[in-house]
Structure 1
């Protein structure tokens, strides 16, 4: 009633107009807008359904109270660092059956505390940045991707909780050691194999080969240098021998003097 009474006076008309405009905005204009291409449902937070919508990027106008984001069966190729920055309530993320090839470092940084499940299965991922899942407590699905088994992948897996139902479906499509191609990454690692040791061994071998090549080149240069100097010395000696001797020149000079 106090507001209505104040609105009855001429002096407060401008104030009342602004006040009612604000109230109308709060009560009648939706706070969270759903992307037009998606379908949203309110259930203690927004469930955003964007499955099979022919998307090639993650929508950037998602409701801030999104708790479930379903983006499977699209053509999304990458996850940028700011894809989920404002979605602090996000609990479930499904990006399966896309064309994912890269995930930027820190892509899950803004939702690391809230996320509980992340599905990246059935994509085109072969590698991930080392700190992709740092501080992430969610269960992650990585099955059915063309993984390259090396030290980097081993370090990435060390930072996350793989979904136990699909853990053996994370397969080495390529590997630093060909014998592990086609095998489960986790089973290989559980057997005691350390891909990082292969990396160090490869580096050591490369350094040894480089040092051997350097030593060979230095040795070859020294041998060439000695042979070249010997050849120059031999030619110089032959040149000196070909010159007329001093005694021969003196005799010729004496003979010429006696004639005159």
Structure 2
């Protein structure tokens, strides 16, 4: 009797060409360029999206993007983690847009790699305090309608301003009118502390609130006393209007003597 043979199912391997095609598709997907932009290779991908009438940052960008140029569009905001997948990004230009807000965490994922960030010539007046936390980039903030207050002072403390445009970061509005139109850095270098103004304003507000509370309590006490005095006066007048006890006694004695 012949030896039995064990059945081993054969594994069908995909053709080598299919593997290459799959790898190519994955590579192309990782480096796909947005249709509205132009991409070139330069030790990574340079994505040119300048003057393309964009209203938001393109969502499908090559993961190995090193330069992203988005100037002269109509972008209004930079949302949280908008660039989180671009771990190699070194330069980001968002100048000459309509930026009104940059959300906290907008530069998450690129804080370590980013070296140049241009937010100039936009409509920024305020920024979240932790906008630039751990960011090593040199930042341009010139030609924005900044409101000079404590939060802006704390934001500036966290970043490296571009020295060429530092004097173009000016107070468009301010907690103190005399600083309007002046470069923010010059105001801060003169020893002004916007956070002190904030604390003083808060203290004044608390004092006013306490004074109003004290005034209301005092007014209530005065009203309560006057109201009680009025009740007491009416009660006394009522008692006076009653027949006198001595008069009733005399009438009773007279009646007794008659009988």
Question: TM-score, normalising length from structure 2?
Answer: 0.91
1:24 to 21, 35, 42: 21
Q: Tell me the residue number matched to 1:199.
A: 198
Q: CA deviation at 1:16?
A: 4.5
Distance apart, 1:154 and its partner CA: 0.2
Q: Distance in 2 between matches of 1:183 and 1:209?
A: 31
Q: Aligned partners of 1:80 and 1:16: how far apart in 2?
A: 43
Aligned to 1:113: 112
Find the aligned partners of 2:56 and 2:194 in 1 and give their Cα distance: 34
Give the structure 2 partner of residue 232 of structure 1: 231
Higher helix share: 1
Secondary structure in structure 2 of the residue aligned to 1:213? helix
- Distance (Å, rounded) in 2 between the aligned partners of 1:32 and 1:122: 30
2:34 counterpart residue number:
35
- Equivalent position of 1:134 in the other structure: 133
Residue 110 of structure 1 aligns to a residue in which SS?
coil
1:259 deviates by 6.8
3-state SS of 1:249 partner: helix
Decide which moves more: 22-31 or 165-174. Answer: 22-31
Q: CA deviation at 1:258?
A: 6.5
| Per-residue Cα deviation, 1:44-97 (whole angstroms, up to 9, x for no partner) | 100000011111010000000100000011111111112101100100000001
> Matched residues in 1 for 2:196 and 2:21: separation?
66
Q: Deviations over 1:12-38 (max 9, x none)?
A: 7x4142x32012333576341000000
Aligned in 2, Cα 1:206/1:16: closer, same or farther, shift over 3 Å?
closer
Range that drifts further, 216-225 or 80-89: 216-225
SS at match of 1:179: helix
CA displacement, residues 145-178 of structure 1 (integer Å, 9 cap, x when unaligned): 1111000000000000000000011111111111
The count of aligned residue pairs is 248
Give the match for residue 150 of structure 1: 149
Distance 2:245 2:68 in 1: 105
Query: Is it true that 1:15 corresponds to 2:13 in the alignment?
Result: yes
Cα distance in structure 2, aligned partners of 1:215 and 1:99: 48
Q: Which runs of 5+ in 1 are unaligned?
A: 1-10
**Paired residue for 1:124?**
123
Q: Secondary structure of 1:148's match?
A: strand
Matched residue SS, 1:109: coil
Partner of 1:241: 240
Distance 1:70 1:24, change over 3 A: same
Alignment correspondent of 2:85: 86
- 1:233-253 deviation per Cα after TM superposition (whole angstroms, max 9, x unaligned): 111111111111012223334
The answer to which of 248-257 and 62-71 deviates more is 248-257
